Amino acid sequence: MYIEYFDLKKIVFNQKRNVKIYGFDVEVFIEDVDMKGISGGVYSILEDKWIEKPKKIEPKIDLNLVKTKAKQWMKMIDTYVNNLENEDIETIEKTFKEYKNKLKKFRLAGLKKGGEMSLENLVFKVLRRNGYIDKLYKTPLKQIDDKLSIK
């Protein structure tokens, strides 16, 4: 239950705030102190210090593969949101959860396997920077709101 709660808090915070470092989005998330971090750096707000300082690395990135995978996800998200109008609320919610979980597993698998510069995490960042994460999260909610509204 706590994991779901903190996931929701993270989503709300990241949607309401527009924090950037050198023009790049900062993503805030909460992790258990006993969990091995998968991020490049860990900063403790409570202690106001770096627990694990980020290290500069020279990644080997296949930009064409990142673009190809990002385009596949974009097409999938576009297809999903463009067909929501004809779906009932239950189907919209069910499919949204499936897409959200699929994207989350995709990203986490990459973070665990290859860290922040993994193909999967880079694809996620491309999707976020191009508005596709917002599109995936906000469009179904808007459709459900429209279906529940009386005009």
Span 47-104, pLDDT tens digits: 888 888 887 778 788 999 999 999 999 999 999 999 888 889 999 999 998 998 999 8
Summarize pLDDT for 90-122 with one digit per residue, the tens.
Answer: 999 999 989 989 998 999 898 888 888 899 999
- 126 and 84 within one domain: yes
| DSSP bridge partners of 44 | 49
- 70 and 43 within one domain: no
Pairing status of strand 49-52 against strand 24-25: unpaired
d(CA 144, CA 151): 14
Q: With respect to residue 18, please indicate whether it lies within any of the assigned structural domains.
A: yes
- Helix, strand, coil content of the chain in percent (nearest 5): 65, 5, 30
Q: With respect to residue 6, please indicate whether it lies within any of the assigned structural domains.
A: yes
- 69 and 24 within one domain: no
The pTM for the full model equals 0.69
* Domain total in the chain: 2
Range of the domain at 71: 63-148
* Bigger pLDDT: 35 vs 116: 116
C-beta of residue 129 within 8 angstroms of C-beta of residue 25: yes
C-beta of residue 127 within 8 angstroms of C-beta of residue 76: no
